[in-house]
């Protein structure tokens, strides 16, 4: 596995997964305040979408597949 840290450093970790082990996948984006490359409406926000994945015998099983991840789905819940 390779990881890119928030400080833009990358490191590689040699990992062997085991059957029924659960791992968390956490892609995210964090936009600093006053970033000139990003519209000001998005300054200072962070978004992370997590999934918990179980190592299966033939393929991984996403335990959080029912969790909302699409912007429109999340906005609909917030507007209820």
Residue 8 in any domain: the answer is: no
Give residue-wise pLDDT tens across range 19-66. Answer: 999 988 888 888 999 999 999 999 999 888 889 999 988 888 999 999
Residue 1 located in a structural domain: no
Instruction: Look at residue 58 and tell me if it is in a domain.
Output: yes
What pLDDT is attached to residue 44? Answer: 93
In-domain check, residue 13:
no
Whether 67 is in a domain gets the answer yes
Asked if 51 and 13 count as a contact pair (C-beta separation under 8 A), the reply is: no
What is the model's pLDDT at position 41?
92
**Residue 2 lies inside a defined structural domain of this protein:** no
Q: Is residue 43 part of a domain?
A: yes
pTM over 0.85: no
Q: Would you say residue 10 lies in a domain? A: no
Residue 69 has pLDDT above 80, yes or no: yes
Q: How many domains does the chain divide into?
A: 1
Contacts of 47 (CB under 8 A, 6+ apart): 28, 29, 30
């Amino acid at each position: 596995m390779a990881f890119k840290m928030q400080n833009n450093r990358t490191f590689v970790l040699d990992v062997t997964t085991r059957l029924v082990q659960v791992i968390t996948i956490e892609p995210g984006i964090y936009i600093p305040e006053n970033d000139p490359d990003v519209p000001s409406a998005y300054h200072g926000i962070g978004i992370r979408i997590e999934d918990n994945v179980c190592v299966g015998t033939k393929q991984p099983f996403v335990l959080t597949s029912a969790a909302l991840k699409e912007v429109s789905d999340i906005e609909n819940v917030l507007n209820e």
